[in-house]
Amino acid sequence: MERREALRLMGAASVFSVLSSDLFAATLRAQLAGNKAGSLRTLSAAQNEIVVAMSDVMIPATNTPGAKAAKVNEFIDLILTEWATEEEKKIFLKGLEEADRKTNALFGHGFAAAPAKEQVAIVQAFDEELAASRNEKLPKQVRSWELTLVLPFFAQMRRLALVGYYTSSIGQEQELKVEIIPGALHGCVPAEPEVKQ
């Protein structure tokens, strides 16, 4: 299987990423697809480490906990297992491979093991790539039932990391301070500091 076949399997996106060696690619795939992580049903231990690290770079702990504490990885595993189509799942898992490959090419080790600065650089690259591919500035009005993850990997990652975080207990209660029962309606009040949204 040679380089061409490896590239084909990894999809067109990998063409512009730097590939260090075919041997590396094959080993990487074997490692990533290996043992499942704990109670997870789709992500392997290695894939899970990437998801945990990347989501936490995107939504880090500040004065509130971040994506890792909110277990965004477990939400993503559920979506991949019970919600996503095979096609959507494939895009996501290949994206994880690509993240590792990019990191390896630039820094000589995988994404999960990389220091924070390197992880930020890789996420930055993904983010810029996605921004360049967006042809519209305005949010696409997707009706909930039309929601699809047939999107570039990092668009999937953005949606799932954000949904996973902001709909978690940490996201709802600590970060957004959502009140389920406001108890009153005031149409027009100052944003701060009287009322927190």
Interaction between residue 175 and another protein (CB under 8 A) = yes
Q: Which is nearer to another protein, 115 or 182 (CB)?
A: 182
Asked if 71 touches another protein (CB under 8 A), the answer is no
For another protein, give the closer residue by CB, 23 or 147: 147
Residue of 15, 115, 192, 193 that binds another protein (CB under 8 A): 192
The count of other CB atoms within 10 Å of the CB of residue 71 is 17
DSSP state string for 89-157: HHHHHHHHHHHHHHHHHHHSS-TTTS-HHHHHHHHHHHHHHHHHH---SSPP---GGG----S-HHHHH
Binding status of residue 158 toward another protein by CB under 8 A: yes
Instruction: Mention every residue, 6+ apart, whose C-beta is less than 8 A from residue 197.
Output: 176, 177, 191
Minimum CB distance to another protein, residue 40 (Å):
16
Omega within 30 of 0 (cis) for the link into 65: no
Residue of 47, 53, 75, 98 that binds another protein (CB under 8 A): 75
Q: Which stretch binds another protein (CB under 8 A): 2-10, 16-24, 97-105, 164-172?
A: 164-172
* C-alpha span between 103 and 179 (Å, rounded): 41
Residues that bind another protein (CB under 8 A): 57-60, 62, 66, 75, 78-79, 82-83, 120, 123-124, 127-128, 130-131, 134, 137-141, 143-145, 147, 158-159, 162-164, 166-169, 172-173, 175-176, 178, 180-192, 195, 197
